[in-house]
Structure 1
């Protein structure tokens, strides 16, 4: 399905032909592509920011949300493969990091063009994930309380009952997706991994952070940011600079050692 303008609904804005390089971004559970609305201005000509828009939110609000991670990853892999070739990386925050990780694995196993780097933000290493609460089955009022606790949903949205009725199906689908995810061993990724973590969520030596190193054959790095699980909302400039800086630095290092 294409939008009226002829581009895929999976991208918040149509990717430009001839882009020098691209950053594909997945948001957190219950989030949408607007998480990355400031990134293009911050990236400038250094890269094109391609925020992924899942069904059931924003301008795809009336579409049925997807509950299976494999369905999302498979669809995004197909969409990326349809674009004109350009170097790219994948970034994801929280649930989005799991989507980014499994997308990279799928592309590698299918023999498709790989991202040059994987960036995982505010997400436990998949083999070290902490147990999740079964919040996707909660009544609407209790689920709204959970969202209020997470403090990532604007209060005006939480206070609008009609809007919440439209939004909650995607929220439930995302939380179910995260709850149902099961890590499986596979070939180590042939690309570097950078982890972004919040100082208030993890200790510097937390295995949930450091065990991401076990998923790659290439380079590994960790960046720490002030804040908790949603530090991404307060450090957009620093995160964009870290992503583009690490991408360039590790790509040059890999080219030298080939």
Structure 2
């Protein structure tokens, strides 16, 4: 039985390592592909990218040889926005569509962010803003060496999200979509989440999880269980169709 490749794109400030815990939790029918972004992790020596079009081109170049059915995509927060644009890029380049897409912890791409841009705030204010998400240990910023590495990554990532421009075209997604959210996530409202329904021609289902913005770290097992349920069902259906042929 063919495994479903699951490409996972990290959130702002994150590296491919944020999905390392998933390795022991994903069903054997799923092959986890942790996507590394330039300027962090195993690609630390590469220059950071601070805009969506360039990061999408970069990721597509990195994974295009692996884009073979069946595969799925997962992105959390900033990663969800990148995932959406990556799906459009894949379609535009004539590659096969994913069998499923998971958008997590992010408003629909057409929703305009409220408030001022934060990526160019003075360092103290920028750090305070980051800590409001409850996803980064304050000790990281108290360590000058770590902070000097981490803050530029966060600024580039926040600029990527805050300067993003939604292009309303008829280039809709063609596969089923799952939208994950944290019930206590103050950054994302239910109304804003519903925007994902508007960008796909297929089914869009919503799955709330306990926790705040980083519920995927707080309740990892529950999140991966739901991914397992969706993708193993797809894998079995693909196998049955193959047998019937």
- Once the two structures are superposed, residues 213-253 of structure 1 have per-residue CA deviations (whole angstroms, 9 ceiling, x without a partner) of 11111111110011121111111111112122123446777
1:133–1:34 CA distance, 2 compared to 1 (3 A): farther
Q: How far apart, CA to CA, are the structure 2 residues paired with 1:59 and 1:179? A: 26
Which portions of structure 1, spanning 4 or more consecutive aligned residues, are displaced by more than 4 angstroms?
250-257
- Once the two structures are superposed, residues 191-217 of structure 1 have per-residue CA deviations (whole angstroms, 9 ceiling, x without a partner) of 111100111237x99321222111111
Aligned residues: 239
Q: How far apart, CA to CA, are the structure 2 residues paired with 1:63 and 1:19? A: 34
Answer with 245-254 or 166-175: which moved more: 245-254
CA RMSD between the two structures? 2.6
SS at match of 1:247: helix
1:57–1:167 CA contact under 8 A, matched in 2: no
Q: 2:154 aligns with which of 160, 171, 182?
A: 171
Cα shift at 1:256: 9.6
Q: Equivalent residues in 2 for 1:1-258 (5 A)? A: 20-83=3-66, 85-186=68-169, 187-201=171-185, 206-249=190-233
SS at match of 1:137: coil
SS at match of 1:37: helix
Q: How far apart, CA to CA, are the structure 2 residues paired with 1:84 and 1:180? A: 28
**Of the two structures, which has the highest relative contact order with CA contacts closer than 8 Å and spacing of 6 or more?**
2
Which structure 1 residue ranges, 5 or more long, are not aligned?
1-17
Cα shift at 1:73: 1.0
1:20–1:87 CA contact under 8 A, matched in 2: yes
